[in-house]
């Protein structure tokens, strides 16, 4: 006799549902997808926190660099003001900050001394009052075939005029010549 066709081998509907439910729960225990989702979520949150921290750090570094540059500039201005005050107190004959009325003629004379091929034009000038002194600013744009002569003119000007400094210099090459834009600055006493 064969036992295949008997009803005792078959499971009841309730037993099959119970067996399927146990298999499904065992499958969940063997494949914990909630841990994978939690891990992916944790990685995503950590990336977001990392990006935010990096941006905050970059902003703080930029602020520190800006503030340190401002401190250096303030220290330079304080040193110049102290030097002006000392010079004003001593008021020697060779005063570094004495007004120079023929400044533009001096620039032209130094250009001739440096053998520039083009004549200097009239510079853009401005004055910034600062206490008992004023800051004179001369902006020249000059073209010449020789960069060495242009730089020689700038060098002679800063060496020959007491207190003359270069605030900014911009050099632009072209096919046949060089263009230099130089901003000279000089403090002068007002009294």
How far apart (Å, rounded) are the C-alpha atoms in residues 157 and 180? 14
Would you say 161 and 106 are in contact if contact means Cβ atoms under 8 Å apart? yes
User: 138 with 171, same domain?
Assistant: yes
178 part of a folded domain: yes
Q: Are residues 110 and 80 part of one domain?
A: no
For residue 188, the model assigns a pLDDT of: 87
How many Å apart are CA 49 and CA 4, to the nearest integer?
64
Pair 158, 164: CB distance under 8 Å:
yes
For 189, phi then psi, to 5°, come to: -70, 150
User: pLDDT tens, 50-73?
Assistant: 999 999 999 999 999 999 999 999
Q: List helix spans (H) across the chain.
A: 13-30, 33-90, 103-113, 147-160
Segments forming the whole domain that contains residue 83 = 11-90
CA distance 127 to 134: 7
Token duo for residue 171: 């050099």
Same domain? 65 vs 110: no
Residue that finishes a domain, picked among 69, 90, 111: 90
At 97, list the tokens. 């900050």
Let me know if residue 1 belongs to a domain.
Answer: no
Number of domains in the chain: 2
Q: How much is the pLDDT for 65? A: 94
Task: Give the model's pLDDT for residue 2.
Answer: 47
* pLDDT in the model for residue 14: 86
Q: How far, in Å, CA of 144 to CA of 186, rounded?
A: 25
Q: Which residues contact 70 (CB under 8 A, 6 or more apart)?
A: none
């Amino acid at each position: 006799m064969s036992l295949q066709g008997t009803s005792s081998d078959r499971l009841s509907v309730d037993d099959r549902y119970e067996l399927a439910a146990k298999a499904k729960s065992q499958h969940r225990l063997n494949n914990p997808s909630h841990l994978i989702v939690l891990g992916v979520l944790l990685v995503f949150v950590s990336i977001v926190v990392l990006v935010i921290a990096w941006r905050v750090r970059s902003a703080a570094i930029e602020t520190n660099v800006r503030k340190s540059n401002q401190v250096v500039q303030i220290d330079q201005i304080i040193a110049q003001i102290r030097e002006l005050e000392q010079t004003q107190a001593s008021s020697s004959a060779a005063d570094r900050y004495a007004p120079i009325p023929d400044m533009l003629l001096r620039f032209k004379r130094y250009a001739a001394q440096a053998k520039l091929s083009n004549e200097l034009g009239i510079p853009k000038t401005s004055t910034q009052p600062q206490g008992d002194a004023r800051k004179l600013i001369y902006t020249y744009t000059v073209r010449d075939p020789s960069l060495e002569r242009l730089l020689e003119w700038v060098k002679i000007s800063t060496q020959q005029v007491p207190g003359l400094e270069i605030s900014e210099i911009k050099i632009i090459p072209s096919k046949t010549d060089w263009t230099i834009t130089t901003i000279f600055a000089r403090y002068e006493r007002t009294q």
